A = this chain, B = another copy of it.
Amino acid sequence: MSNGPAASALAIDAMGSDLGPAEVVEGVSLALRSFPEIRNHIILVGDKTVLGPLVDKKKLEKYAKISIHHASEVIGMDEKPIQSLKNKKDASMLRAIDLVKDGVAQAVLSCGNTGSLMAAGTLRLRTLPGVERPALAIVAPTKDHNFVLLDAGANPESSPKNLVQNAILGYNYGKVVLHNERPRVGLLTIGTEEGKGTELINETHSLLKQMGSMIDYKGLIEGFQVFDNHVDVIVCDGFVGNIVLKACESLINNMKSYLKKRLQENPLRWMGALLAMGAFKDMKKQFSTERYAGSPLLGLKGIVVKAHGSSNRHAIMHAIHLTHKMLHREMNNRMLADIQTANDIMNPNNHSVDVR
């Protein structure tokens, strides 16, 4: 990052999307045209015979430096993470990660296999000094605000220290993504009376209270407060986080399909639905996650962002914008400093070394 954050490069796995590389290139084009602040060097990683003509056609070089980094293989969505890393050494996702590892790029974005990205990101980039485990952070919408939830599945068995670090990572990410300089942080549990949750929660809660003003820790929250604008950053382990997010998504789909069927079974109801369509559209927009299509794996040496496999060009545009913001705000440097402070608070004995 010697040229400052504005000059940092973004490696994009151009082959991992369900919609194909052309959609990814369209996403890059939209991002460069829509957000004048994005002038990072963009490195598209994948089959150069496919990507070359796509890039030439879009004339992107007038907006930013664009290059293509060749990779001959693609990791499939259903491949097993660890095996895919072994079997496909020339996969676009892995080459893109290696660009960050080698310092050529400072961030990587992929729509590919989540498990492979988490495994390869963690194994190849390693965590920031002091961070024990990376955490996947998701932004979810409600009727009147958005919140960050982490960990959404990177680390299913967490220690209190892992959860405290998740809080630090999520707080710093929340600042960038929620446009809120002091996001409220909550720890997810059952029953908010002290001592009611698990040992993991009680110990984490007591550590978080020691973090002072470094984060805005609001204490314990219950399941029914998740969507209730109590906090902006919800901290939990990857097991709970993954299940809660997926169950909520499945509930929305289930109810939507029920309602649609009931509306369609009667012409009067359907007419009513058409008249009320504006409200349904508002709702779809409000609860859409497209604006937050990129989910970072936080805590690594480099920015790693996962976009949905089915991301269209707009989703990819937003994911690029998000990645740019994390680079521009030097999020990882802030995290690094806060994690060191937090670790010193958690392990006061190690701290004495710094005092000399």
Binding site for B on A (CB under 8 A): 80, 115, 142-143, 153, 156-157, 188-191, 193, 197-199, 222-228, 236, 238-240, 242-255, 257-259, 261-263, 266, 268-280, 282-283, 286-287
Contact = CB atoms under 8 A, between A and B. Distances in A.
A279 B262 contact: yes
Contacts of A286: 258
Contacts of A197: 156, 239
B239 A225 contact: no
Nearest to A238: B190
A259 B193 CA distance: 33
Contacts of A142: 254
Contacts of A259: 279-280, 283
Given A240-B243, A272-B272, A272-B273, 9 more contacts: A156-B190, A157-B199, A190-B239, A226-B246, A226-B251, A248-B248, A252-B255, A255-B283, A266-B278
Contact of A247 (B80, B226, B276): B226
A255 B50 CA distance: 43
A206 to B, nearest CB: 17
B239 A224 contact: no
B251 A252 contact: yes
A147 B191 CA distance: 24
A227 B246 CA distance: 10
Which 5 residue pairs of A and B lie closest in terms of their CB atoms, listed nearest first? A223-B246, A272-B275, A272-B276, A143-B258, A262-B279
Nearest to A199: B157
Contacts of A255: 143, 252, 283, 287
B254 A251 contact: no
Contact of A226 (B188, B239, B250): B250
A227 B247 contact: yes
Given A198-B156, A275-B275, A278-B269, A247 B246 contact: no
A245 B223 CA distance: 7
B258 A283 contact: yes
Nearest to A193: B80
A111 B139 CA distance: 37
A283 B262 contact: yes
A242 B156 contact: no
A279 B283 contact: no
A244 B247 contact: yes
B243 A188 contact: yes
Contacts of A227: 247, 250-251, 253-254
7 contacts: A143-B258, A227-B251, A258-B283, A258-B287, A259-B283, A262-B278, A269-B275
A273 B275 CA distance: 8
A198 B247 contact: no
A248 B251 contact: yes
A140 to B, nearest CB: 9
B283 A275 contact: no
A127 B102 CA distance: 60
B239 A240 contact: yes
A193 B80 CA distance: 9
A251 B251 contact: yes
Given A247-B248, A269-B276, A228 B254 contact: yes
Contacts of A270: 276
A248 B199 CA distance: 25
A212 to B, nearest CB: 28
